[in-house]
Structure 1
């Protein structure tokens, strides 16, 4: 089936999506050989409370796609405002991203990063094709939160919360 031609280009689409403020997460897991995997992702969202499901997506071209598709568990580490360096590290091509990062093993050995404002430990349940990405839907088996302010991404750069808007 052919898609209709877009009335805009990919750059316009990406820049427009950037107007939706998101939190920043680092998805972490263990590869089959026991090595650690981690990457920065901001396409994370909730799906369902019963059962507790979350969703995120990964580019088909990602070097860790196969490992993440086949792992039993992964962790979604929601970064706190002071963890910009961790976001940049896990978005980089650095080989050993975990070398100087404090973490502890979670379910299935998936790394749970220290200092995050929230962590979801997730059973890797469903994957769907989604254009140039694969869509992951996972069942949350454990979660935890702190009162730390989250790291926000908006309009192509990091941002922070300015407080709650006044109620109408």
Structure 2
């Protein structure tokens, strides 16, 4: 093998090694990418219907970054769509009270964020999986996932009425 080929192989190996060494950044186990030039379904917003003004001379001037006549409260509308209360507070107090019946740890968010970061760092994939940006999410969380058909059978054996489920292995036609 020639000297130039050896240099090229060494440079490629060094580049491969260095590209996978950045372990200080937060690991991304789920690599979600668009698979084409199509529209981004998360960028589509349902707006309120347009209204014909009675007099065009009374229209306010445009305010970049401000509100508009069609969608005057976009943030409040998004909060309501996600089940929240735009005026603050809790929309379903009964659910929150039931969920917190055994107490609430005030620092739970920080604690969970720290534990999740440690878990993701431990399950960040192998060298080539990181280099080629392979999705390792399902492999990392496999032990924490629910066997839906096993649980369905367990509940049915206990006599719990369950909704029907498609047979195992069934895939909906596209």
TM-score grouping bracket, smaller chain normalisation: under 0.3
**Which one scores higher on RCO, CA 8 angstroms, separation ≥ 6?**
2
Q: Which has the larger radius of gyration?
A: 2
TM-score norm. by structure 1 comes to 0.19
TM-score norm. by structure 2 comes to 0.18
Decide which structure has greater helix share: 2
Decide which structure has greater strand share: 1
